[in-house]
Amino acid sequence: MKLGLKNNEVVIVPYNQEWEIEFNGVRQEILKNINLNCNCIEHVGSTAIKGIKAKPIIDILIGVDDISKLDDSFFNQLKKLGFYRLRIQKHDEIVCAKFIDNTFEIKTHIIHLVNFNQKKWNDLILFRDILRTHDNIKKQYENIKQTFLENNLNEITAYTDYKENFVKDTLKNYRE
């Protein structure tokens, strides 16, 4: 199984069942080394959806009581596992990544630290679960990603923005 993409690169590959095995291994390492509730680590993103093309990066959602209270010792524990805090600024999320080596060029895993059972947590879990249980929505989502790449757009921020309306509309429609 090949994992990882260079910074700002966007490539999607066919689903690989080893992604789930990889997630479970990393989850166990996190639980063994960091004091967390085992119910607050989830596999999210397209690598968590059987049968859908995805960027070959494992997305890990970790819910904590209050992200604003995470201190240096918490991030030092993550660093020992190979995860580094990124400079991405979001009010409801802290992002960490694991890289292939110390050049920090190719990301293999991303941790999304959010407040447990709050909006960001709930949205990410709900969207994942919708894709897992609705083949028609899963196919639409995959088509959106494929269309982006066919238009020769290869920049991660544009890719994320391109998918965002679909994600928001799907969540809104599901909740109505």
Q: Give the pLDDT of residue 72.
A: 93
Q: Give the pLDDT of residue 153.
A: 66
Q: Give the pLDDT of residue 81.
A: 96
Shortest CA distance to 77 belongs to which of 113, 119, 117?
113
Give the 3-state secondary structure of residue 108. Answer: strand
Tracing tokens 């920090």 back to the chain, one arrives at 104
Per-residue pLDDT reduced to its tens digit, 24-42: 999 999 999 998 866 799 9
Report how far apart, in Å, the C-alpha atoms of 54 and of each of 12, 50, 73, 130, 164 are: 5, 10, 33, 16, 16
Q: Give the pLDDT of residue 38.
A: 65
Cβ atoms < 10 Å from Cβ of 172 = 9
Tracing tokens 């899963």 back to the chain, one arrives at 138
Q: Give the pLDDT of residue 89.
A: 79
CA 49 – CA 17 distance, rounded (Å): 10
Q: Give the pLDDT of residue 37.
A: 65
Q: Give the pLDDT of residue 118.
A: 95
Helix H or strand E encompassing 22:
helix 18-33
Superfamily of domain 5-175: Beta Polymerase, domain 2 (3.30.460.10)
Ranges of the chain whose pLDDT falls below 50: none
**What size, in residues, is the chain?**
176
Strands (E), the chain: 5-6, 41-44, 58-64, 83-85, 94-99, 106-115
Query: What dihedral angle (degrees, nearest 10) is formed by the CA atoms of 131, 135, 136, 141?
Result: 40
